[in-house]
Amino acid sequence: MDSRGAGRCEIDVSDRLIVALDFSRSGEARSFVDTLGSSVGFYKIGLELFMAGGYFELLEWLVARGKKVFVDLKFFDVPETVKGAVRGLRNRGVTFATVHGNQAILEAAGKEKGDVKILAVTALTSLDRGDLDDLGFQCDIERLVLSRARRALEAGCDGIISSGLEAPMIRYELGGKILVVTPGIRPVDNTSIDDQKRTVDVAQAFVNGADYIVVGRPIRNAPDPKKAAISIQNTISTFWTRQ
């Protein structure tokens, strides 16, 4: 079976890179976006910026500049509360939003998504087997991710957040029925000390079945962030032009 899955070629190549704006201040995020310029068109804004203040102003600022926005707040609460939170994102220019939790929570998000695509979190890429044991999950990571992917699809979600290590299994079992967004990307072998444990490099993520990748520190901490972003975009373009 083709690991790409049906419909995976329909996404604009330049949008397949999502850059994480992991900053403690909105001003820092805006400055970074200006630094990257036209090299990146899709950004993820998460909890750190949410707590810093000015979150929705930043969201609107990005949308006004023609950028796509991934709201990564991992909504996890009673279904009615999640439903209201997702409803509040509609008609704001948000492309993706993440939801965590059980079937009822995912279904609530799916019913209220409107123009927002809902991504269900499977297993964070910062978790390894030992971490899952601590959390009480007695199945292996692959079975857990596949189970959550199937449930997300049934609940009306558009995609999942999945490590590139589990993406081939998702594609084999579900084909192109669901979007796969892969964080934990490292341009080379992950020998650095950080909180990402289950990682793949850029090209391997797409070989394994990802539709989008999320990259943060490898771009943000590069000597020349724009050059690093362009290099990743070139790798993505090369991969997809060969398909």
Condensed to tens digits (0 to 9), the pLDDT of residues 17-41 reads 999 999 999 999 999 999 999 999 9
Q: Are 106 and 128 in contact (CB under 8 A)?
A: no
As a whole number of angstroms, the distance between CA 45 and CA 55 comes to 8
What confidence score (pLDDT) does residue 192 get? 46
**Residue 24 resides in a domain:** yes
79 falls within a domain: yes
Q: How many CB atoms neighbour CB 231 within 10 A?
A: 17
Of residues 146 and 196, more confidence is placed in 146
71 forms beta bridges with: 45, 97
Domain count, the chain: 1
Q: For the residues 148-153, what does the mean pLDDT come to?
A: 92
DSSP state of 125: T
Which one of 67, 74, 113, 227 is the catalytic residue?
Answer: 74
Query: Which of 66-75, 92-101, 198-207 is predicted least confidently?
Result: 198-207
Is the per-residue pLDDT at 5 higher than 70? no
Does the residue 16 lie in any domain?
yes
pLDDT for residue 124 is more than 70: no
Q: What per-residue confidence (pLDDT) applies to 185?
A: 83
Q: What is the pLDDT of residue 189?
A: 40
- Tell me the pLDDT tens digit for each residue of 37-55: 999 999 999 999 999 999 9
pLDDT of residue 130: 55
pLDDT for residue 116 is more than 90: yes
Q: 68-75 and 94-99 as β-strands: parallel, antiparallel, unpaired?
A: parallel
What residues contact residue 86 under an 8 Å CB cut-off, 6+ apart? 75, 97, 99, 108, 109, 112, 113, 116, 118
Predicted pLDDT at 200: 82
Check residues 94 and 142 and name the one with the higher pLDDT. Answer: 94
For residue 148, tell me if it sits in a domain: yes
Length of the chain counted residue by residue: 243
% of the chain beyond a pLDDT of 90: 70
Instruction: Report if residue 2 sits inside a domain.
Output: no
> What pLDDT is stored for residue 143 in this prediction?
78
Has residue 106 been placed in a domain? yes
CATH of the domain at 214: 3.20.20.70
Q: Tell me whether residue 197 is one of the annotated catalytic residues.
A: no
Report, as an integer, the average pLDDT of 204-215: 95
Q: Per-residue pLDDT for 196 more than 60?
A: no
Grouping H, G, I as helix, E, B as strand and the rest as coil, residue 172 is helix
- Rounded CA gap, 174 and 64, in Å? 35
Q: Residue 155 falls within a domain, yes or no?
A: yes
Tell me if 179 is assigned to some domain.
yes
Structural domain range at position 44: 8-241
